[in-house]
Amino acid sequence: MLTSLGGLATGIGSLPGEDPQAAVELVLRYFREIPHWPQLPRRGPVEHFVYQFLYPLFRLGLLAEEGGRVYLATRRPDWAERLTEFYSAYLALEGGEEAALDFFAVPPEAAAGLYAFVQAAAGGDFWLVKGQVAGPLTVGLNVRDADGRVAYYRDELRELLVHALVGHARWQVRLLSRLGRPVLLFVDEPGVGVYGQFGYITITRERIVEDLSAVLGGIRGQGGHSGVHSCAACDWSLVFEVGPDVVSVDAYGFFKSLLPYVTQLGDFLRRGGVVAWGIVPTAESVLGESVATLLARLRDQWRELAARGIPLTLLRRQALITPACGTGLLEPALAENIYRLTAGVARAVRAEQEHGGEDHAR
């Protein structure tokens, strides 16, 4: 249960720049209670989800990336043999062989921020340490087979990607657990927003729930706490249904998308769930904001939910404060400003909880 974390802050994942040590220092400066490892997309394709979260498939030659095109090499003459090698390792993992986790390891050159974080955070007195993994729907819609067909729509390929993500999630939880603190792993699933859209009518609720539940189950099975992040409007009842510990919402841009699901949100909070309120925008619009304006915006949102039946005490106590999304494509100074504001709003929320007032914005 994470209900004691109300008002603490963390980030979503990515940061600008190419220096992993500098990125980790920025995280530790602003998010001392719940630091996260930084993804660094400006380091180039090596920081792509192919290498960070699907590396075993790439290493075996099952997955390839050429000129920005990501595809499963289904036309390889030895595809079946390489697939058998992957599933032998995955079944060993499912059978409880701890050593099988090493098969899903990511090399340091593909996640420089992760390894720099583990080294720098050793011995730190944190509440939690946070990681992140790409979601199965988001990945499945961005990977194709050798003939150009979207992998998500081929069951055997979709299942392969899901199993690779489960293995990675378990490995990442084990790695971060070596820091001696509880681990919170977000599944970043913006793709869930396509559910119900006309162009995606063959994507079923049952399949999304099944795949997302598999990744969350891997996180929990390794002893981690799970979160689901979407930086877009979506059917939030679907996210609540899979039962993560944390649901992460772009509250700055898409708060209204929560309102049709107030009943499910209230049930989620009453079960001990936590909402990560992405109240700090990750765009240049943040230049017109301050801790005071963002805090006022968040208060208004919570009041609206309270008026619809959710106790304000639950909303405050079971709240994390975050940026709306990652900051990896922004200018470094803007990203740091976003982190500074996030930490400031979190301090103000905690002060309100401690003193029962609303005059603590700084």
Supply the CATH number for residue 24's domain: 3.20.20.210
Pairing assessment for the beta strands 69-72 and 63-66 based on DSSP bridges? antiparallel
Q: Give a yes or no: residue 135 inside a domain.
A: yes
* Beta-bridge partners for 278: 322
pLDDT at res. 306: 98
**CA 103/CA 39 separation, integer angstroms:** 21
Angle, helices 112-120 vs 20-30, to 10°: value is 50
Sign of CA dihedral 169, 171, 174, 175: negative
Q: Which residues of 264-287 are buried (b: 16+ CB within 10 A; e: fewer)?
A: bbbebbeeebbbbbbbbbbeeebe
Identify which of 24, 18, 27, 21 has the alpha carbon closest to the alpha carbon of residue 339.
Answer: 27
For the record, the structure tokens of 117 come out as: 């974080």
Q: Give a yes or no: residue 362 inside a domain.
A: no
pLDDT at res. 359: 40
Name the residue with tokens 């997302």.
212
**CA 212/CA 202 separation, integer angstroms:** 17
Quickly count: other Cβ atoms within 10 Å of residue 138's Cβ.
20
Q: Give a yes or no: residue 361 inside a domain.
A: no
Whether 298 contacts 349, CB under 8 Å: yes
Identify which of 237, 120, 123, 217 has the alpha carbon closest to the alpha carbon of residue 173.
Answer: 217
Q: Give a yes or no: residue 360 inside a domain.
A: no
Q: Give a yes or no: residue 203 inside a domain.
A: yes
**CA 113/CA 111 separation, integer angstroms:** 5
**CA 108/CA 274 separation, integer angstroms:** 32
Angle, helices 155-177 vs 79-94, to 10°: value is 50
Q: Give a yes or no: residue 53 inside a domain.
A: yes
Whether 37 contacts 113, CB under 8 Å: yes
For the record, the structure tokens of 221 come out as: 């099975």
Q: Give a yes or no: residue 336 inside a domain.
A: yes
- Cα 318 to Cα 46, 110, 274, 353, 355: the distances in Å are 36, 34, 5, 11, 17
Q: Give a yes or no: residue 288 inside a domain.
A: yes
Number of domains in the chain: 1
pLDDT at res. 352: 85
pLDDT at res. 360: 40
**What does pTM read for this prediction?**
0.94
Coil/strand/helix, residue 59: helix
Backbone angles phi, psi at 275, to 5 degrees: -105, 130
User: Per-residue pLDDT for the chain (362 aa), expressed as one digit of tens each?
Assistant: 576 777 999 999 999 999 999 999 999 999 999 999 999 999 999 999 989 999 999 999 999 988 878 899 999 999 999 999 999 999 999 999 989 999 999 999 999 999 999 999 999 999 999 999 999 999 999 999 999 999 999 999 999 999 999 999 999 999 999 999 999 999 999 998 888 888 888 999 999 999 999 999 999 999 999 999 998 899 999 999 999 999 999 999 999 999 999 999 999 999 999 999 999 999 999 999 999 999 999 999 999 999 999 999 999 999 999 999 999 999 999 999 999 999 999 999 999 887 765 544 33
**Domain span holding position 66:** 3-355
For the record, the structure tokens of 230 come out as: 């979407």
For the record, the structure tokens of 235 come out as: 């059917």
Whether 249 contacts 232, CB under 8 Å: no
